Every structure is written in C-alpha cells, then in structure tokens.
C-alpha cells in the first residue's frame, strides 16, 4: 500500500502526544486544519490535496457564471470541489510539523483525498448508502470508511483498482445493463472532499463510518460491497425513477 505499519505507529504516537498536550504547551497554537491534515497523513496514511472553496449557499459569480469558486474561474465546472491549481499535496506519512507547515501555505483550502492510491470510492445516493450499510453490517460483511457529502451522496472507500474493474465486476454479478444504477466509482485522478471540509459551498462532509487503522490501510475489496450497493441503488431508481429517493 506504500504505507508501513511502523509509520502508522509513529503517527499514532504523534497524534496522541498532540491530544495530550496541556494548554499553554508548544502545540497550542496549531491551526485546527493543520492538525486534521496531520491525522490523515500520519495516522491514516493518506495524502491530502489542498482544494478550492465555493461560496456558501450556492452564491453565483458576478460574471454570471456558476457558484463562485476560490480558483478564480467564473465558470468553474466544479466550484469548491476540485484541487487548488498550483498547490502541492501533503504526502502520506507527513509528520505533524510537516503537515502543519505545508498547510499554512494554503490557508483556507479545503482538504481533498486523492482516489486511486490507497483506496477507490464507490459512490451512491446518501439514502441508498445508508440502507446498504445496514444490510452489509447485518450480513457481517466488512465495510471500510464511509463518508456522507452535503449534496446527497455517500462515498464507500474500497481497495484501489475498483474503478478500472467496475464494468467487469458488475457484469459478473448480472448487471449487464447499468443504465438503471445510480452508482459510479472514483479512481485515479479523482478526489473526494475530506471531513470536515466544506463541499461545493453546501456544507461539511461527515463520516458515517469513521476510518480505523485496519480499514484505512486495507479497505475492503469492492466486490464484497458492490452487489448490495448495486441492488439498493437499482431499487431506488425502480421505485421512484430518480436517484437518491427511497421509500
């Protein structure tokens, strides 16, 4: 996975030291965003990419474009939901000091997690995701971290390679026609907004199932979740004819 157990252990110790530091100590003045970035890089072993931010509540750009975005483009196709041009990512394994120094160079940036490295992402509607998660847990199937975005989508983190294999995996499960599925997979070149950053000016992303050490380092294979996610997604569209609405 490119991230060793030793590095994870070092990250745990560093984050524990941070949380146990008394008021007035050396670490008191660290920005909250920097410490959260350090948790992603040092504890979970994920790189973090500085992301653009959008105006709250879908504010429209003065030039008549879409929602205003800090990237400066009046017609940004994904306001507040893409990497900040020219900004350097904070690599997996970065220490607390390294992460906070790096993040200080992009104040106010959203935190993005790159897919296609330590994980890919299966995306469905929020309601479908919640129902699928209940089913998966009842069946005793392993689930990795799951995030809920404010635009009504659920992100299931799975082992990398899922995006490339998705069509074949669905075909093997009997889904030769995927037009009835409100499901997609994010892989290499894609990013998700990391909790608790704002996504697209709509509000913060939240963990529905927060990462643990095992799940972060070794997320489940997509095939273990895909059948349930596909079924629930298909049922939503069959019943209501629109993504993300379950009765």
Looking at the structure, tell me whether residues 245 and 146 fall in a common domain: yes
pLDDT at 239: 67
Whether the per-residue pLDDT at 217 is higher than 90: the answer is yes
Mean pLDDT of 79-102: 95
Domain that holds residue 15: 1-48+89-109
Token code pair at residue 89: 């990512």
pLDDT band at residue 13, thresholds of 50, 70 and 90?
low
Looking at the structure, tell me whether residues 206 and 143 fall in a common domain: yes
If phi > 0 it is left, if psi is from -120 to 50 it is alpha, else beta; for residue 57 that is left
Looking at the structure, tell me whether residues 146 and 167 fall in a common domain: yes
pLDDT at 92: 97
Mean pLDDT of 197-208: 96
Looking at the structure, tell me whether residues 76 and 122 fall in a common domain: no
Helix (H/G/I), strand (E/B), else coil: 243: coil
Looking at the structure, tell me whether residues 61 and 148 fall in a common domain: no
Looking at the structure, tell me whether residues 37 and 71 fall in a common domain: no
pLDDT at 91: 97
Looking at the structure, tell me whether residues 188 and 210 fall in a common domain: yes
Helix (H/G/I), strand (E/B), else coil: 98: helix
CA distance to 15, 136, 225, per residue, from 219 (Å)? 22, 14, 11
- Are the C-beta atoms of 81 and 199 separated by less than 8 Å? yes
Using CA atoms, how far apart are residues 111 and 156, in angstroms rounded to an integer? 18
Tell me the β-bridge partners of 60: 67
- Poorest-pLDDT segment among 65-74, 105-114, 202-211: 65-74
Looking at the structure, tell me whether residues 61 and 122 fall in a common domain: no
Looking at the structure, tell me whether residues 235 and 120 fall in a common domain: yes
pLDDT band at residue 178, thresholds of 50, 70 and 90?
confident
Helix (H/G/I), strand (E/B), else coil: 124: strand
pLDDT at 30: 57
pLDDT at 72: 87
Looking at the structure, tell me whether residues 184 and 225 fall in a common domain: yes
Looking at the structure, tell me whether residues 236 and 196 fall in a common domain: yes
For residue 226, which phi and psi values (nearest 5 degrees)?
Answer: -65, -40
Tell me the β-bridge partners of 154: 124, 148
Report the number of distinct structural domains present in the chain.
3
Looking at the structure, tell me whether residues 64 and 13 fall in a common domain: no
Using CA atoms, how far apart are residues 168 and 132, in angstroms rounded to an integer? 21
CA distance to 129, 180, 219, per residue, from 161 (Å)? 21, 23, 12
């Amino acid at each position: 996975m490119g991230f060793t157990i030793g590095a994870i252990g070092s990250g745990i110790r560093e984050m524990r030291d941070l949380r146990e530091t008394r008021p007035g100590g050396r670490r008191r003045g660290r920005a909250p965003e920097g410490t959260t970035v350090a948790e992603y890089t040092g504890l979970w072993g994920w790189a973090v990419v500085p992301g653009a931010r959008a105006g709250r509540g879908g504010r429209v750009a003065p030039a008549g474009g879409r929602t205003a975005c800090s990237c400066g483009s009046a017609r940004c196709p994904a306001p507040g939901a893409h990497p900040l041009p020219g900004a350097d990512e904070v690599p997996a394994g970065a220490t607390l000091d390294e992460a906070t120094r790096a993040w200080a160079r992009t104040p106010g940036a959203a935190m993005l997690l790159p897919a296609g490295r330590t994980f890919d992402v299966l995306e469905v509607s929020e309601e479908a995701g919640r129902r699928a998660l209940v089913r998966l847990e009842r069946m005793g199937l392993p689930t990795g971290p799951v995030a809920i975005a404010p635009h009504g989508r659920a992100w299931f983190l799975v082992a990398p390679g899922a995006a490339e294999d998705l069509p074949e995996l669905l075909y093997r499960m009997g889904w030769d026609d995927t037009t009835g599925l409100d499901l997609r997979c994010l892989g290499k070149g894609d990013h998700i907004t990391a909790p608790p950053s704002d996504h697209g000016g709509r509000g913060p992303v939240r963990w529905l199932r927060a990462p643990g050490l095992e799940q972060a380092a070794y997320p489940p294979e997509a095939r273990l979740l895909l059948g349930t996610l596909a079924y629930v997604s298909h049922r939503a569209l069959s019943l209501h004819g629109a993504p993300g609405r379950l009765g």
